[in-house]
Amino acid sequence: MASPDGNKDVIAAHVEREPEVPREDPIDLLAHDPNVYFDVEEEKRVLRKIDWRVLPLMLGAYFLQQLDKSSLSYTSVFNIQSDANLHGKQYSWLGSILYFAQLVMQPLGALLLVKLPTGKLISTAIFFWGVTMCGMAACKNFSQLIAARFILGSFESLIGPSLVAVTQMWWRRSEQTNRTAAWNSMNGITSIFGSLSTYGLGHITSQKLHSYQIIFLYCGGLTLVFSVFSFIFFPDSPMEARFWRQGERDVAIERLRANQMGIISRKWRWDHVLEAFLDPKSWCWFFLVMGISIPSGGIGTFGPLIVQSFGFNKFNTILFNIPFGVVNIIAILGGGWLATRIKSKGIVIAILALPCILGAALLLGLKRGPGSKGPLLFAYYCTSFLSGITPLIYTWHVQNTAGDTKRKVTTGLVFVGMCTGNIIGPLLYSTEEKPYYRTGLISNLAMFVFVEVLVGFIMLYLKFLNGKHSRMRSAVGKLATIQDESMMRKADLQTLGKDAGQQATPREEDHSFADMTDLKNEDFIYVY
């Protein structure tokens, strides 16, 4: 925050610094000196350090989670069905069971996120699912594979909610969308990297191992190596990070004041739990993410088989899956950039759903045959825009929820919706319906339309809540209309500091670092 009198010489922290030793209790830092002032350049330096020290570890964790769970789809074109004696819907169940495990683990995951150090929790989960991936190479039938996939999903269930919590913990609301888009874009990188790796691994001939076993060993080995680096370098919170120099920690904390979301409490509050379940917003996020996860789960598991049904051999199928990942990256990063630019996630989600509707409709309407390969691939790539929607939902729900326990319970509920959709999605497809997969594609089309409708409702409801909070501020003698500094650019904030001098709400009346829910904090501003 800039100095109230506009004097940039009043800066709490500067270049010549010695490393700080974290305090014993990280929550004590929430009671840090509120008179911490810094200029825009000082904040840029701190933000740059966060981006270089925290974000790469988040990218690696999400990349490996997506690589390991999607390894099943790569093995599908290398005959895992025949090599592991799978029949009927057994392959579909291998796709769904991972999300059953994540569904079961969400309540425990929400509790662990409140109680345990986040960085160490993430690193431990990465290690154990890496061990599980390596163990899957020894699985030779359906019962062994489904048990291993359940264990894999149990450990992977912690990553998504953890990374959402880490994003909220380190970045301002105006910065969260692009950071969430960055780690979600690893989904597309995974598709490219996994396809190229699988193409190479598929050419390996072994007398003892099937292709799917080689792929599982490869993915598991990468994960185990990364888990070591993660355990050493992943910080637990801004208060506990050991890479700060003198004064930087206070700047990192103070710059989050405008979020009105708190940072971390390590205390489980049952009143927050109750409010999370009674808040209509929570269920809007649940159904929105479930609506997009049904097609995501189906296409994610059956994507290579859908491409193969266009008339390609197994190696061409893997190569033609690469552009799907490229579109994926464009949709995620482009969607995040546009949402930040226009300051509206709802509108961008509605835009991204349109090519998905087109793609699903074309896949249903086009005939299979040599002359249709190009249009069919175009339609398949259109459905890849769905990947840009999920990270926006993750950011949208976090930015509109305050209170540490409530936020993590709501995040858990969102991931329950995600898991539910990903369980249902693969089961709507069946290898017996190839090459058209009509049941799956019709359900996908219906879900894309459902997402469009629900987004419109959510935006109207958030506008209603902002009006309610405006009346609450007036009732206690505050300004009815206030600036949402958390969604403003640095240049705008600097101008605001010169013009306004101080924030509208005096610090002694400010709830920024209080563990207060969004519905009870009249200073909280909902974002569309």
More confident: 203 or 29: 203
Whether the pLDDT of residue 500 is over 50: the answer is no
Instruction: Say if residues 339 and 345 touch (Cβ distance below 8 Å).
Output: yes
More confident: 398 or 56: 56
Residue 323: band (very low, low, confident or very high) from pLDDT cuts 50, 70, 90 = very high
Whether the pLDDT of residue 521 is over 60: the answer is yes
Whether the pLDDT of residue 18 is over 50: the answer is no
The DSSP secondary-structure symbol of 245 reads B
pLDDT in tens, 98-115: 989 988 998 888 889 888
Which pTM value belongs to this model?
0.79
CATH code at 45-233+269-467: 1.20.1250.20
- Residue by residue, DSSP assigns 374-437 as HHHHHHHHHGGGGGGHHHHHHHHHHHT--SHHHHHHHHHHHHHHHHHHHHHHHHT--GGGTTT-
Helices (H), 26-117: 40-53, 55-76, 80-83, 90-115
- Domain locations in the chain as residue ranges: 45-233+269-467
Q: What is the mean pLDDT of residues 372-401?
A: 93
314-335 b/e with 16+ CB inside 10 Å = b? Answer: beebbebbbbbbebbbbbbbbb
Separation between Cα atoms, residue 276 and residue 270, nearest integer Å: 10
The DSSP secondary-structure symbol of 498 reads H
3-state secondary structure of 509: helix
Q: How many residues does the chain have?
A: 528
Q: What is the mean pLDDT of residues 219-239?
A: 94
pLDDT in tens, 116-152: 999 999 999 999 999 999 999 999 999 999 999 999 9
